[in-house]
Structure 1
Amino acid sequence: MHMIKLHSILLLFLAGILLVGCCGLTLPDLNGDTEEDKPTSGGSTPPTGGGGGIPPAHAYTVDDLLEAVGNDDRALTEQILESGVSVNAADDQGITALMIASFFGYDHLAQFLIDEGANVNAEDIDGLTPLMYSAGMGYPATTQLLINEGANVNAEDVEDWTVLMFAASGGYEDVVEILIDEGADVNAVDIDGLTALMLASVSGYNNVVELLLDAGAEVNAADADGWTALRYANEAGYEDTAEILENAGGTQ
């Protein structure tokens, strides 16, 4: 059976596991919390040495920075940066502090990191940028912030997935609308010929499908196996989505 590899979900999930495993972070509640519900910056200050815990300032590492950002602790983040750790330091997966802030939707902390010189177009080892992390997790405010600060709205990862594909595959209507308004290419294709419209159609995200069609998405584009958005919708059993595509001239 022909199936789409859940590229965006897998990569973002693995990134979350990496953050939890390496930095002791807590993943956000994707079923309820909004950006307004997220904790504000704060937290404890590090010990001055000895007894375990966070090391003294002179021994801070990139892992300490990532943990502080993941815990939305601005005070500690500032202290670590002041100790000499680069705001653009990355771990062995290429993950930076701004990527973590973007992954969790900490837009105020993201702005602080950018003001400190964080690269908004940095890439991890899979080619994911902070904007992909934000859009792929469905954070409109953080997504808009990154774009305003120069993030490339048409960046591609190592498999040519675009920011719009990450957002469309998650059904994040508000983020998709922002990306379209900011000039995202609605007809970009990945290495397998998949488009954002196909990704939205296979999951029955009707509002996203309509947004993409209204923005000029090619309804009859076909992937490497000859599948169109309509075929994806039909195979997945989304009759309403199929009807939308058919009304737009879609064929299998």
Structure 2
Amino acid sequence: MTHSGDQDDQLFIMESRDDKEAADGQHVEPSAANGCPSDPRHETAVPPENMDVDEEDLFKHSTTLTNKQRGNEVTVRPATLDALSIHQLAAQGEVSQVAAHLSKDISLLSSQDERGFTPLMWAAAFGEKAVVDFLLEKGADPKAIARERESALTLASSGGYVDIVESLLRHGVDINTYDWNGGTPLLYAVRGNHVKCVEALLAKGADMTIESDSGYSPMALAVALGHKKIQKVLEDHILKLYKPTT
């Protein structure tokens, strides 16, 4: 991790790569929780019921360019649920559809996509607690590691989903797991300014001395990013650790 704009290149975070892959149908776009493009689930093509709309206006020529006018030869229809992979369904929180896939092929529970992400990782990354709980109940491996050493715990910590972080910690995951550049769940929680996640990780024994490959400890990163509340949480934890017992 480095100062200013380079910080985004030093710690892996979901929005840095996968969102761009959604266009080819491989992944589902994340919600706005991490500052990513809006979730298509929340978009609507019809006006609200209480809005007065002139029926003739609906048939006027649109000033919006069509795919053809933009130079695209093929118009892609929106994907339907039955066309999505179990990874995409997990990211969208479609518990019933995920269950239907698993009823046909239980091996999908631990299936990894081209980046090594499991359905559990996708659900954790998008904050889909119900799917996370369902997959864990079915026996999904919370300790699975993706191609660049991403884990469900790292992804949940990066997104600030403390309920999922706590659930994964109850399932015995490695709290100090690190990814390709030395980023731990605690470092990602600090980077995202996710106070509750930092508190949950520290309460379960996260190591504050581990540094990323670029040399940042959790405290150094909090200071560099100006996260005052995180600094206070870290300072209080240090004092608690060194407080003499009576």
**C-alpha displacement of 1:239:** 0.6
Alignment RMSD (CA, Å)? 2.8
1:72 paired residue among 75, 81, 87: 81
1:205 paired residue among 191, 194, 207: 194
Alignment-derived partner of residue 152 in structure 1: 141
**2:153 pairs with 1:164:** yes
**2:128 pairs with 1:139:** yes
What is the correspondence of 1:83-232 to structure 2 with a 5 Å cutoff? 97-118=85-106, 119-232=108-221
2:186, 2:165 → 1: CA distance? 11
2:148, 2:31 → 1: CA distance? 28
**C-alpha displacement of 1:16:** 2.9
Secondary structure (helix, strand or coil) at the match of 1:248 reads helix
Alignment-derived partner of residue 91 in structure 1: none
8 Å CA contact retained: 1:203, 1:236: no
Flag the 1:141–1:15 CA change in 2: closer, same or farther, 3 A. farther
Task: Look at both structures and tell me which one has the larger radius of gyration over its CA atoms.
Answer: 2
Normalised to the residue count of structure 1, the TM-score between the two structures is 0.69
8 Å CA contact retained: 2:127, 2:159: yes
Gaps of 5+ in 2: 44-76, 240-246
Flag the 1:120–1:235 CA change in 2: closer, same or farther, 3 A. same
8 Å CA contact retained: 2:158, 2:185: yes
2:229, 2:207 → 1: CA distance? 19
**C-alpha displacement of 1:29:** 5.3
1:172, 1:242 → 2: CA distance? 20
**2:236 pairs with 1:247:** yes
Higher relative CO (Cα under 8 Å, sequence separation at least 6) belongs to 2
**C-alpha displacement of 1:13:** 1.3
Alignment-derived partner of residue 236 in structure 1: 225
Identity fraction in percent:
25
- Residues 171-206 of structure 1: per-residue CA shift (max 9 Å, x gap): 111111111112221111112211000000011100
Flag the 1:120–1:14 CA change in 2: closer, same or farther, 3 A. farther
1:242, 1:191 → 2: CA distance? 25
- Residues 77-104 of structure 1: per-residue CA shift (max 9 Å, x gap): 7xxxxxxxxxxxxxxxxxx721111111
1:203, 1:156 → 2: CA distance? 21
**C-alpha displacement of 1:155:** 1.0
Query: Residue type of the partner of 1:154?
Result: K
**2:23 pairs with 1:17:** yes
8 Å CA contact retained: 1:186, 1:217: yes
2:24, 2:145 → 1: CA distance? 22
Alignment-derived partner of residue 51 in structure 2: none
- Residues 136-182 of structure 1: per-residue CA shift (max 9 Å, x gap): 00100001111111211011111111110011001111111111112
1:227, 1:195 → 2: CA distance? 11
Flag the 1:247–1:28 CA change in 2: closer, same or farther, 3 A. closer
2:91, 2:21 → 1: CA distance? 9
Query: Residue type of the partner of 1:224?
Result: D
1:202, 1:244 → 2: CA distance? 14
1:213, 1:146 → 2: CA distance? 26
8 Å CA contact retained: 1:147, 1:153: yes
8 Å CA contact retained: 1:203, 1:233: no
Gaps of 5+ in 1: 39-66, 78-95
**C-alpha displacement of 1:129:** 1.0
